[in-house]
Amino acid sequence: MLTIRLQRTGAKNRADFRIVLAQSYRAVGKKFLEVLGHYNPRSKNFGIKDEERLKHWLAENVSLSPTVRNLLIEKKLLEGKKVKAWRPKKQEATETAPAAATPASEAKTVPTSRAVEAPTEASPSAGVDTGQ
């Protein structure tokens, strides 16, 4: 199955992308079939090499990545509504829930129902014989 998606080509901290046609199972940064355009998110520079080729692949019902779909809709090359392209990362519930649910004073208190017992002579840890 073919897909039109972004392929990162920029340097570290200076992202730049190609709009490529590739097999959907291939790695994003590896082999592609055709370069259709480019996109620079810093300068918002967007360009399509050959609009006829893009329209040809869209007529072939090639799937689009959500980001490419939104770019094409924004530039009026495709009709439709934008889709949600990404979601923020979920924070772990274990980090936020206990800190907010229990105040610090409650967390440090010791339950009164349990009493700490002193070790007896019968327990192996209390009566260690040194052999003297």
For 44: left if phi > 0, alpha if psi spans -120 to 50, otherwise beta; the answer is: left
Per-residue pLDDT for 100 more than 60?
no
CB-count exposure of residue 4 (10 Å: 0-12, 13-18, 19+): buried
- The ranges assigned to domains in the chain are 2-74
Q: How confident is the model at residue 76 (pLDDT cuts 50, 70, 90)?
A: confident
The pTM is what? Answer: 0.61
Question: pLDDT for 11-61, tens place per residue?
Answer: 999 989 999 998 887 777 788 888 999 999 999 898 998 889 988 988 888
pLDDT at 90 (0 to 100): 85
Q: What is the pLDDT of residues 102-131, one digit of tens each?
A: 555 555 555 565 556 666 565 555 556 666
pLDDT-wise least confident of 27-31, 68-72, 74-78, 116-120: 116-120
User: Residues 64, 80: contact at Cβ < 8 Å?
Assistant: no
Q: Which CATH superfamily does the domain covering 2-74 fall into?
A: Ribosomal protein S16 (3.30.1320.10)
Q: What is the predicted pLDDT for the residue at 14?
A: 92
Residues 18 and 67 sit within 8 Å (Cβ to Cβ): no
Sequence-distant (≥ 6) Cβ neighbours of residue 66 within 8 angstroms: 83, 84, 85, 86
